[in-house]
């Protein structure tokens, strides 16, 4: 039987996958990556019941688009895409669960900014990976490692390790996938960097675990739906009272019944 923590990890992986689906064909990968980091950091500080994850994902995406200066994505456009993903591609799980408005996203933006301490500058591992691969002259290795970095955002690695170490772990894992073991050339290359191989394996382990569980995850939608039904839902009852008087508290979608977790 899975523990509560393991269930939370399952849910988080699902919601991150939804966010990736929302912009998978939009060609703005860095916006998605930054939004994923915001999302991870936000739920590192607050309880799941503090804010509906679907709303949090949408808001993080909207905030990321502004920070990355790729051009502001209209809120209504993000909401429309999120509704399509939830109500069509994943309708068995959510069953028209996405019913948030522009005002919900705008209110949630201030709340997420507060929890993030307005610290919005994100350093990603893509640039270090490109730098490391520059002298290797192996485009296939770079491509595989790049895909691994994309998948790493479905784990908590971005909260645990510096970007350059995640990049090296992705490169290490790509080498293993390509040749089943490190070639003498790559053994020497990693040795020259003075990197502890055990730490690279430690970083790669959650990614391998993700690949193992993801094979059955998407096909078991009913089980996911049952698990989601056990998450405490934020209360919207406070919305009317909040609208009647000015308040600096959390958005209406935030539950007053569940206290936030302490910052770690």
| Residues 144 and 240 occupy one common structural domain | no
pLDDT tens digits, one per residue of 39-53: 888 888 887 767 777
| Residues 158 and 190 occupy one common structural domain | yes
Report if residue 20 sits inside a domain.
yes
| Residues 195 and 213 occupy one common structural domain | yes
pLDDT tens digits, one per residue of 146-198: 999 988 888 889 889 999 999 999 998 998 887 766 777 777 777 788 888 88
Number of structural domains (the chain) is 2
Q: What is the DSSP string of the chain?
A: ---HHHHHHHHHHHHHHHHHHHTTTSS-HHHHHHHHHHHHHHHHHS-GGGS-HHHHHHHHHHHHHHHTTS-PPPHHHHHHHHHHIIIIITHHHHSS-----HHHHHHHHHHHHHHTTT------SHHHHHHHHTTT--HHHHHHHHHHHHHHTTTTHHHHS-HHHHHHHHHHHHHHHHHSS--HHHHHHHHHTT--HHHHHHHHHHHHHHHHHHHHHTT-HHHHHHHHHTSPPPP-THHHHHHHS---S--TTS-SSSPPPPP-
List the domain range (segments joined by +) for residue 146.
Answer: 126-217
Which band of pLDDT confidence, cut at 50, 70 and 90, is reported for residue 111? Answer: confident
pLDDT tens digits, one per residue of 72-100: 677 777 777 777 766 665 655 555 566 77
pLDDT of 254 = 44
Q: Average pLDDT, stretch 225-231?
A: 62
What is the pTM (predicted TM-score) of this model?
0.73
Report if residue 250 sits inside a domain.
no
Q: Average pLDDT, stretch 242-264?
A: 39
């Amino acid at each position: 039987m899975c523990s509560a923590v393991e269930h939370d990890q399952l849910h988080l992986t699902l919601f991150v996958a939804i966010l990736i689906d929302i912009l998978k064909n939009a060609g703005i990968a860095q916006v998605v990556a930054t939004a994923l980091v915001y999302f991870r950091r936000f739920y590192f500080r607050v309880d799941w019941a503090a804010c509906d994850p679907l709303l949090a994902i949408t808001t993080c995406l909207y905030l990321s688009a502004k920070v990355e200066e790729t051009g502001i994505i209209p809120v209504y456009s993000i909401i429309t895409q999120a509704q399509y993903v939830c109500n069509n591609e994943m309708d068995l799980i959510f069953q028209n669960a996405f019913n948030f408005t522009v005002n919900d996203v705008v209110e949630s933006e201030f709340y997420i900014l507060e929890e993030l301490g307005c610290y919005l500058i994100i350093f990603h591992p893509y640039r270090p990976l490109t730098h490391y691969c520059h002298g290797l002259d192996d485009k296939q290795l770079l491509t595989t490692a790049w895909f691994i970095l994309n998948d790493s955002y479905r784990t908590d690695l971005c909260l645990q390790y510096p970007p350059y170490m995640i990049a090296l772990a992705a490169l290490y894992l790509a080498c293993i996938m390509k040749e089943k073991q490190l070639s003498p050339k790559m053994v020497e290359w990693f040795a020259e960097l003075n990197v502890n191989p055990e730490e690279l394996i430690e970083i790669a382990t959650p990614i391998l675990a993700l690949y193992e569980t993801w094979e059955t995850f998407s096909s078991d939608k009913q089980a996911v739906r049952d698990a989601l039904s056990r998450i405490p839902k934020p209360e919207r009852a406070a919305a009317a009272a909040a609208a009647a008087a000015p308040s600096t508290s959390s958005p209406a979608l935030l539950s007053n019944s569940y206290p936030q977790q302490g910052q770690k």
